[in-house]
């Protein structure tokens, strides 16, 4: 077990793998949001470009 500081600034005891798992889950969430945003923005752009014959 190790003592670590979480994102809110409070200190707590935990295992290294817990911290790594939390960071990995956060990274997956961020990547998912970025991909969803790109698809959401890209599809209408593709439809408009297709309609304009580009």
How many C-beta atoms surround the C-beta of residue 50 within 10 A?
A: 9
- pLDDT for 35 equals 92
Higher-confidence residue of 22 and 54: namely 22
Which residue range is the domain that position 29 belongs to? 23-54
Mean pLDDT of 4-13: 68
- pLDDT for 53 equals 84
| Tokens linked to 38 | 């790109």
Coil/strand/helix, residue 13: strand
Q: Which of 26, 28, 5, 2 is nearest to 16 (CA)?
A: 2
Does residue 30 belong to any structural domain of this protein?
yes
Does residue 43 belong to any structural domain of this protein?
yes
Does residue 10 belong to any structural domain of this protein?
no
Domain count, the chain: 1
pLDDT at 47 over 80: yes
Q: Please name every residue paired with 2 in a beta bridge, in sequence order, or none if there are none.
A: 14
Does residue 27 belong to any structural domain of this protein?
yes
Give residue-wise pLDDT tens across range 10-36: 776 666 667 788 889 999 999 999 999
| Tokens linked to 49 | 């470009």
Does residue 33 belong to any structural domain of this protein?
yes
């Amino acid at each position: 077990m190790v003592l670590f500081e979480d994102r809110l600034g409070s200190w707590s005891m935990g295992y290294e793998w817990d911290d790594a798992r939390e960071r990995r889950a956060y990274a997956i969430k961020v990547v998912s949001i970025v991909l969803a945003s790109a698809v959401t923005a890209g599809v209408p752009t593709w439809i408009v470009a297709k309609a304009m014959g580009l």
